[in-house]
Structure formats: structure tokens, C-alpha cells
Amino acid sequence: MCDKKYMNEKEGIREIEDFLQDNDALNPTEVNISKQIMSTMSYSKVKVDGFPVLGGYQKAYHVVREADLLTAYDFDRCMIYKMNKNGGNVDDAFNDAEDLFNNRVLKHNEHGLFLLDYSKKESLILHNNALQRIASWRNLVNKPLLR
């Protein structure tokens, strides 16, 4: 996925298109659908624009989009990203990550973002795991020896 948090989205889509065309991996229609999936699946775009209508490729869109949402439940990964953005400050990274989870990740089911049965079931497991990791990090962050 080409996410603006990590890269220039248009550049990323162009590079992926070049790769797919150079390797004859897909026909032109499939290349265009792949580009459309990648450019419309982000959480923020779905919240603003809803789901695109992709006809026979709709299920492929949801499989890819929901897989991306499921990876968001990794609190440790979020902490590492936030620490990198916050210059290694664990307290700020924890607070930012916890806010993100409380306001967004832990509300994926409530917001109806999972349509596929697998994702609905797996998200419940990942949700509980995330709550446990948040509690573990909270205990670490609040230890006086780490200050």
C-alpha cells in the first residue's frame, strides 16, 4: 500500500504500475484495478469517501483493505513508529499510540469496517491482544526505574 505517512502516494502508485507492467504480471484492466484498490483503501479515505464500487473486484478490494486494517492492531509496531516520530520518547509514543488505538483501531468493528467473516472473527482476537499489550506498555511506562 502507498500510504502518505510513509511516502508520496502518487509516486508509489506509479512505481507499482511500472513494476506490474514491466513484468507482465497483470493485464491492463488488472493493473488499473490494483492501482484503484491501493489508492482508495486507506482508513482515512474510506471514512471520507466510503468504499469504491469495483464490480467483480469488490471482494479483492475488501480482502486487501481488511488485511491492512488487521495489521493495525499491532500495538508494539505502533509504539515503534511513534517512538521514531517522537525522537525515542517512550512516554509520548505510548500516549500517542494509546490515543490512536482508542480513537481509531479499537473502533474498527464499531465503525463497520470489517465485512468479511474472517476479518470480523480475527479482529476480535487482535482487539483483545491489543488491549493486553496496551496494559503491558502502561505498566512499563509507569515504572519509576524507566524515568
What is the DSSP track for 75-114? HHHHHHHHHHHTTT-HHHHHHHHHHHHHHTGGGTTTTT--
Mark whether 49 and 9 lie in a shared domain: yes
Mark whether 53 and 121 lie in a shared domain: no
Give the tens place of pLDDT for each residue, 4-55: 777 888 898 899 888 888 877 778 888 899 999 998 998 888 989 999 999 9
Mark whether 144 and 76 lie in a shared domain: yes
Compute the residue count for the chain. Answer: 147
Spacing of C-alpha 60 from chain mean position = 16
Report if residue 63 sits inside a domain. Answer: no
Nearest to 140 by CA among 94, 86, 83: 94
Q: What is the pTM of this model?
A: 0.86
Burial class (CB in 10 A: 0-12, 13-18, 19+), 146: exposed
Exposure string over 82-98, b if 16+ CB within 10 A, otherwise e: bbeebeeebeebbebbb
Domain that holds residue 116: 72-147
Spacing of C-alpha 54 from chain mean position = 21
Give the tens place of pLDDT for each residue, 79-130: 999 999 889 899 999 999 999 999 999 999 999 999 999 999 999 999 999 9
Q: How many domains does the chain have?
A: 2
